[in-house]
Structure 1
């Protein structure tokens, strides 16, 4: 008896879905039979038309801006097109960016992503966008990856990449500044007849400085572990989640370390080979290695 009821229920659901599809297609689909691929392609076509209209509006804004006074131009944009200063700026910038032959070639694929994602991507260089359209992996993302992302996910990914690049540029800038400083000191010492320090002495000082920093960093990691223990206990007692914050801290530290490793082409020690030379070097042991500052 239960099997019969189940069959009836399944048939009823199927019939209801079919009737619903017919009603929807009668109202919105010109009476056609539903086909997912067909309507996905029509949606993509509508997106392209919307973006083409966006660029046409951008061209109109550029022409109007060049022929009217500032106040009059803003009035036209607001009263005639219903857009404010920020949106006007983004539309003009997008239109100008896609005016070059290279970007026009990449435009069809990028336009399939939709207006919001396209505008988010404009923070990237032209060569980056062209590469993305050509199937290259850019900043760890392909065009398909971007297509699957939400606008928010894309914005976060682009922001994180910019922050990593800024951090890398800062490290490189600091390194270059240090090199320039050392070169300047060397030049002054030559000019005034000051004896240049022995390379071995300089190397020793640098090794000591790095060792000191390593001890400090390891001390902070021990403190971080103590905070993790408190957060874990707090989560167990009160049920408030802390794992995301803990994981975020670890991931950020690893990202910073990988940035240094990649910058100086340092190998990864996986523990499978004999103890490397760096692990045999004794760090200064003055009893402070794991003390809390």
Structure 2
């Protein structure tokens, strides 16, 4: 007969069924998470602190690829060790906790098998650490033979650590400068757009009377300007022609009639009627 499964409720009689099931669910999730970590980063080797210390020490003294293997082992260790055991563990391994953290980050960042060419081009952990400033899409593009921030795989392999760091830094500075320029342009555009919207709002808020006054002033300004543009040049031209040919009055009258007809067309189009005089009656009245 099969032995019945032991649950947390059996181990802790004071715990109610809901609490026990909740704890069982949490434990089950932790077991599944650990299984994923072991499957992805452990190379099939179960965790045992002393064994992983040896693995990490061995990898630390080797290439970039070996450093990533050490980073994967550190991931398993960090997930497996209890609270307070992590710092003593990395001290025994002989690596600073800050460096261990970067190695873990690198192991996650370069976990895709497609990045193997980029890892090989880097060659050592120092250059691999420099490449961590790239985002995941840039790393994938570079590993696939593309050009990222002006660099190709051959450049990564050829450059030393300092040269690679400088190239990445300069590329980032250039990108930041472009981003700032674009942001400044967008800010200026936003400011102008806001000013235009405010101007439109002011126009829309204007009362009907204010709009009538403004339109009346526009008409008056056009007519005054048109009168000045016509009378003075026409008077001068007509005077010169009559001085040379006293019989040219009929020709001048024909041209003046064309101007008058154009003005009459506007009056008819808007049904303006006619005004016999712009001078008020009081200005021409005789004194008694």
Higher relative contact order (CA 8 A, sep 6+): 1
TM range (shorter): 0.3 to 0.5
Give TM-score scaled by structure 1 length: 0.45
Give TM-score scaled by structure 2 length: 0.45
Bigger Rg, which one: 2
